[in-house]
Structure 1
Amino acid sequence: MATVILVRHGRTTANASGVLAGRTAGVKLDSVGRDQARRVGERLAAVPLAGVVSSPLERCRQTARAILDHQPGSPATPVEKGITECDYGDWQGRALAELAQEDLWSVVQRQPSAAAFPGGESLAAMQARAVAAIRRHDSALEAEHGSGAVWAAVSHGDIIKSILADALGMHLDLFQRLNVSPASISIVRYAPGRPDVVAVNTDAGDLSWLAAHPPAAEGTVGGGAGPEAAVRPRS
């Protein structure tokens, strides 16, 4: 099975000012976000990526470029509308502190499966199209590059949370229990029987084992020895 690395874009000017950017054009990484994106690229430099797929929004494309700066051969970087930001409709561009006073806010927090943004899309529709897009790219990249393929998808916080919730078998109503920080990395493998969630919301740590440690087809009873056992040289 292939391995998908889910990367949230770095911090933006909207994140820093507490505004729900949504699909607003021109929202870019701030200085902190650019540094975060560079560190993500450095962290992934040890992993030869079969592909990098990005949301069409500028902040994700900036983050994807920072990843590619550290990849030999510059793998293809298709834009995937299926993993673009949620369409927040009339909420887009408004301050989060103001939105927290809306009745819909509590629905988004406590029963996301019932939340539909006025003039936008529902969170359930967002999850369905995001999961479908990730699974489609995963199947295509595995077919092209083999079961050891590792690839990255650069997207947004709610998108990645919804993909992780699906992979974990969690109802969408529980997805607010997950945290996905700017420039964080989460890792999922779609095995034939079920997804395997390898990591969630990490912002540091060596990832070279992804290139050396073949994925197991089944969960290891007792937890297994971990990737270090597979890459440690014999004495």
Structure 2
Amino acid sequence: MARPLTLLLVRHGQSEWNAAGLMQGQTAHVPLTGLGHEQAATAARELAALRPGAMLSSDLLRAVQTAEHCAEATGLPFTTTPALREQGYGVLEGRPSRELWDVVDWTDPHWAAEGGESLADLHARVAAFLTRLREDPPADVVALVTHGDTIRAAQAVVAGLGPADMPAVTPHNGTVTRLQLGAAVAR
């Protein structure tokens, strides 16, 4: 039987679009704010104390900048993967988030904006990634630098919940969420 795998999910620090209240999704070029760099450095110190043996990051700039802080604090190199990206919101990316409450059907896990992905798509992407990671883990404790909705999807997958039952609360920017991944990953 495979040993449990500990995942340390780091949510990126505050980005310029977080601060401006804009929907980010998979928009690649959005950097961290000064506060975001401080949050990333704080998360990096917490992560270093948890002693991960490997680190992977979303390839979006805000996550990569956070991973750079984590790499400096832990001494670990990191690789990037699009599998850890935020949920894609397609044509809604860059719009003020407050305008989207009347546009997005938050209750339907299969709803997606044009050019985006649904919560069900995100859940399936994260489940597939975690299955591959479980099959060939680079270490017993792995840091994943990623995004709020991606962390919520990972929490659901590890708990055996579907996309309709993802946790409602998104971890704050610059926080570390610990998950234990057993021998099998729910899909």
When normalised by structure 1's length, the TM-score is 0.72
AA paired with 1:184?
T
The answer for the alignment partner of 1:162 in structure 2 is: 153
AA paired with 1:166?
V
- What is the CA–CA distance in structure 1 between the aligned matches of 2:176 and 2:35, rounded to whole Å? 17
The answer for the alignment partner of 1:200 in structure 2 is: none
- What is the CA–CA distance in structure 1 between the aligned matches of 2:83 and 2:94, rounded to whole Å? 21
Among 124, 130, 152, the alignment partner of 1:134 is 130
CA contact under 8 A between 1:4 and 1:138: conserved in structure 2? no
CA contact under 8 A between 2:12 and 2:174: conserved in structure 1? yes
Shift of 1:29: 0.8
AA paired with 2:132?
R
When normalised by structure 2's length, the TM-score is 0.89
- What is the CA–CA distance in structure 2 between the aligned matches of 1:121 and 1:139, rounded to whole Å? 26
- What is the CA–CA distance in structure 2 between the aligned matches of 1:26 and 1:57, rounded to whole Å? 7
Shift of 1:135: 3.1
Percent of residue pairs identical: 30
Among 164, 167, 176, the alignment partner of 1:173 is 164
AA paired with 2:35?
V
Q: Secondary structure at the match of 1:79?
A: strand
CA contact under 8 A between 2:46 and 2:176: conserved in structure 1? no
Shift of 1:194: 6.8
AA paired with 1:80?
T
User: Rg larger in 1 or in 2?
Assistant: 1
Shift of 1:25: 3.1
- What is the CA–CA distance in structure 2 between the aligned matches of 1:76 and 1:68, rounded to whole Å? 6
Matched, 1:40 2:37: no
- What is the CA–CA distance in structure 2 between the aligned matches of 1:194 and 1:87, rounded to whole Å? 23
CA contact under 8 A between 1:10 and 1:59: conserved in structure 2? yes
The answer for the alignment partner of 2:10 in structure 1 is: 7
Give the CA RMSD over aligned residues: 1.8
- What is the CA–CA distance in structure 2 between the aligned matches of 1:176 and 1:49, rounded to whole Å? 25
AA paired with 1:120?
G
Q: Deviations over 1:139-191 (max 9, x none)?
A: 322xx54xxx2110011111111111122233322325233211121111222
- What is the CA–CA distance in structure 1 between the aligned matches of 2:162 and 2:133, rounded to whole Å? 23
Q: Secondary structure at the match of 1:69?
A: helix
Q: Deviations over 1:21-44 (max 9, x none)?
A: 122232011011110000011112
AA paired with 2:52?
L
CA contact under 8 A between 2:8 and 2:141: conserved in structure 1? yes
1:77–1:177 distance in 2 versus 1, CA, 3 Å: same
Aligned length: 183
CA contact under 8 A between 1:82 and 1:129: conserved in structure 2? yes
Shift of 1:100: 1.5
The answer for the alignment partner of 2:22 in structure 1 is: 19
**Runs (5+) with no aligned partner, structure 1:** 196-235
Shift of 1:193: 5.8
Which one scores higher on RCO, CA 8 angstroms, separation ≥ 6? 2
CA contact under 8 A between 2:149 and 2:170: conserved in structure 1? no
- What is the CA–CA distance in structure 2 between the aligned matches of 1:184 and 1:17, rounded to whole Å? 20
Q: Which 4+ runs in 1 deviate beyond 4 A?
A: none
Q: Deviations over 1:204-223 (max 9, x none)?
A: xxxxxxxxxxxxxxxxxxxx
CA contact under 8 A between 2:13 and 2:173: conserved in structure 1? yes
Counterparts of residues 47-62 of structure 1 (less than 5 Å): 47-62=50-65
- What is the CA–CA distance in structure 2 between the aligned matches of 1:35 and 1:169, rounded to whole Å? 34
